[in-house]
Amino acid sequence: MVAGVGALGPVVADASPDLPGITAQDLLAKVQTAKVDGLSGTVRSATDLGLPALPGVDGGSQVPDLLTGEHTARVAFAGPDKARVSVLDDMAERVWTTDGKTAWAYDSAKREAVKLALPARPAKPEVAPEKEAYDPQAVAKRFLAAIDPSTAVDVTGTESVAGRDAYKLRLVPKTDKTTVGSVTLAIDAKTWVPLEVTVLPRTGKNPAVQVGFSSVSFDVPAASTFAFIPPAGVKVSEKKLPAITPKKHDTPKALPKADPKRPAKADRPTVIGQGWESIAVIRGVKLPTDNGPLNQLLANARTVQGSWGSGKILTSKMVSVLITDDGRVLVGLVTADTLAAAAPTAPR
């Protein structure tokens, strides 16, 4: 039995491909427990979040690059600790790969590579943006985690993705506080792995995010797939991730409460709210004082204020960001009013 589903409907007939009927509840259960030993293929992504262009920014940063435009990547995954993503740019390639013991990040345009030694018991590293952005299963899990009683879930038909038969599972938030209109997952009819994810905004008809396989194989990739040999002339820097030594202690009766007076690191967001109304809060952010691109953008942004202070809100058709004068940044797939309403109770 799948908990937390607001509305579940039966499959809607579709001419092609012809697949056995399945309820949304059964399909959702299969998706959430799907597991394959490995896969490889080509993933295409198209992203249009409606983000405003920053004046003076040429798009050289990888993270903004992932949030706009169309991209193609070759991917391979095997087990929980082996992955490779090769993003194909114009006349260049970015590679992120790990065999479970060593991780590599390579940028052919910069002719630079970083080798990261992973300990036997590693600290939890930050997930490479490329891996998250070009793994349809990882993208799907983010939206599946938002399912709650306010979500309508139904099967809207079937389709063919990367030459494989798939069911279409649609998630529709009922709350008007999110900017997400619907999320459709193309679910492989044999492995139950998401093959494609399409996100529609609450306003507009064009997808804000679409990521999926154009070709895929569920054979386990060879171990050599995850190895990396730097090309000649590439500058290589080496780093080592520190290991975590588990502490032996008795299980506490209750989790310690967070100290709101303790300053938080700017790179450690706290998530408030639930489901589609989740908001990430980053504290201790210091904005530049010059007349740079960000401040130029904020100059024309909407000002909000209350007993908590004041701030500026940037909005797009999908993403809303509130930057407060006390150094907090609130961001989420929610409306601007939802962000403003969360400011008084957001961690400081």
Q: Report CA-CA distances (Å) from 72 to 39, 199, 252.
A: 17, 18, 48
- Order of strands, sheet of 309-315, starting from the edge strand that comes earlier in the sequence: 270-272, 279-282, 329-332, 320-324, 309-315, 302-306
Neighbouring residues of 185: CB distance < 8 A, sequence distance ≥ 6: 31, 140, 143, 144, 168, 169, 170, 171, 194, 196, 197
pLDDT value for 70: 87
Q: Report CA-CA distances (Å) from 183 to 163, 180, 200.
A: 21, 8, 6
At which residue do the structure tokens 């409306």 appear?
A: 335
Is residue 104 within 8 Å of 162, Cβ to Cβ?
Answer: no
pLDDT value for 245: 53
**CATH architecture assigned to 7-238:** Clam (2.50)
Strand 279-282 and strand 164-173: the pairing is unpaired
Instruction: Give the pair of three-digit tokens for residue 57.
Output: 């920014």
Residue spans per domain, the chain: 7-238, 270-342
pLDDT value for 56: 39
Written as tens digits, the pLDDT of the chain (348 aa) is 344 444 444 444 344 799 999 999 999 999 999 999 999 999 999 988 876 554 433 444 444 455 567 889 999 999 888 999 999 877 789 999 999 899 999 999 999 999 998 876 544 444 455 667 788 998 999 899 888 888 999 999 999 999 999 999 999 999 999 999 999 999 999 999 999 999 999 988 889 999 999 999 999 999 999 999 999 999 999 988 766 554 444 443 333 344 444 444 445 689 999 899 999 999 888 777 776 666 777 778 889 998 889 999 988 889 999 999 888 999 999 999 999 999 998 988
Q: Report CA-CA distances (Å) from 52 to 192, 281, 301, 320.
A: 37, 21, 11, 11
Quote the pTM value. Answer: 0.80
Q: 291: how many CB neighbours lie within 10 A of its CB?
A: 9
Is residue 103 within 8 Å of 83, Cβ to Cβ?
Answer: no
pLDDT value for 12: 43
